[in-house]
Amino acid sequence: MTGGHRRAPSPSSGGQGVDPELYRQVVGRFATGVAVVTTVAGGADHAMTVNAFTSVSLEPLLVLFCAERIARFHDVVLETGLWAVSVLAEEMRDASQWFATRGRMLDGRLQGWEHTRGPATGAAIFAGAVAAMECRTYAVHDGGDHSIVVGEALGLDVPDPAAPALVFYEGRYRSLS
Ligand SMILES: Cc1cc2nc3c(=O)[nH]c(=O)nc-3n(C[C@H](O)[C@H](O)[C@H](O)COP(=O)(O)O)c2cc1C
């Protein structure tokens, strides 16, 4: 092959002859922001870092995030049906890491991260987030080992209009500044 733009696929172990490692590499080259989805169940806060988050529809106003079925957050958010999304600023890497740590203390605390409560959902919205949204679950679709959770926007906010967003690309955090 000339040009060197493509890597030869390694022996297949994925469905339909697709190498899962190459799949990871390819989808990881889609630069994303990073967000924390929050919900309140039985008076306790729950949160999870996601980058599988996107807008879906303008009429009605819909977004989606993907939740791994084995994540503890998965069942909780499906049960509550009300959640908030805080899009993280560059200086919030620590929050991203913490809310992506399996086995961490789950309930009742947001590890000191300053937050307000969304008026529509009661879910935490992080101070310093570059954007925030409150949602009610609109639909849940099968997404293999994830569930695709579609939410209707109930409220929108821009907590810190000046903060640069945290970016995730090729498995690493990047900054826009
Ligand atoms: C940058 C980043 C993005 C992530 N995106 C997702 C995602 O979109 N969906 C998901 O289910 N897990 C995602 N994860 C992993 C979860 O955050 C992690 O598995 C989760 O905290 C599991 O915790 P729990 O079982 O306590 O809920 C991501 C992790 C990182 C670091």
Q: Kindly state whether residue 90 falls inside one of the protein's structural domains.
A: yes
Nearest Cα neighbor of 68 from 139, 146, 148 is 146
95 lines ligand 1 (CB under 6 A): no
Q: Please indicate, yes or no, if residue 134 is contained in any of the structural domains.
A: yes
**Structural domain count, the chain:** 1
Atom 7 of ligand 1, residue of closest alpha carbon: 50
For residue 2, is it within any domain? no
Closest to 151 measured CA to CA, from 69, 14, 30, 55: 55
**In this structure, what token pair is assigned to residue 10?**
């390694």
The reply to whether ligand 1 has any atom less than 6 angstroms from the CB of 63 is: no
Helix extents (H) in the chain: 20-27, 72-80, 93-98
Rounded to whole angstroms, the maximal C-alpha distance in the chain is: 59
Which protein residue has the closest C-alpha to ligand 1 atom 20? Answer: 100
Its pTM surpasses 0.85: yes
Residue 10 forms part of a structural domain: no
Mean per-residue pLDDT, 80-98:
97
pLDDT tens digits for range 40-86: 999 999 999 999 999 999 999 999 999 999 999 999 999 999 999 99
Is residue 164 in some structural domain?
A: yes
Nearest CA to ligand 1 atom 21: 100
User: Is the residue at 105 inside a domain?
Assistant: yes
Q: What is the CATH number of the domain that holds 161?
A: 2.30.110.10
> Domain limits at 119?
19-169
146 belongs to a structural domain: yes
Q: What percent of the chain has pLDDT over 90?
A: 82
In which residue are the tokens 């022996």 written?
Answer: 11
Adjacent-strand bridge partners of 57: 62
What residue ranges in the chain does DSSP mark as E strands? 32-33, 35-41, 44-50, 53-57, 62-68, 82-87, 115-117, 124-126, 131-143, 146-157, 166-169, 172-175
Residue 30 resides in a domain:
yes
Token code pair at residue 21: 């490692």
Is the minimum distance from the CB of 98 to ligand 1 under 6 angstroms? no
Give the Å distance between the CA of 172 and the centre of ligand 1.
Answer: 14
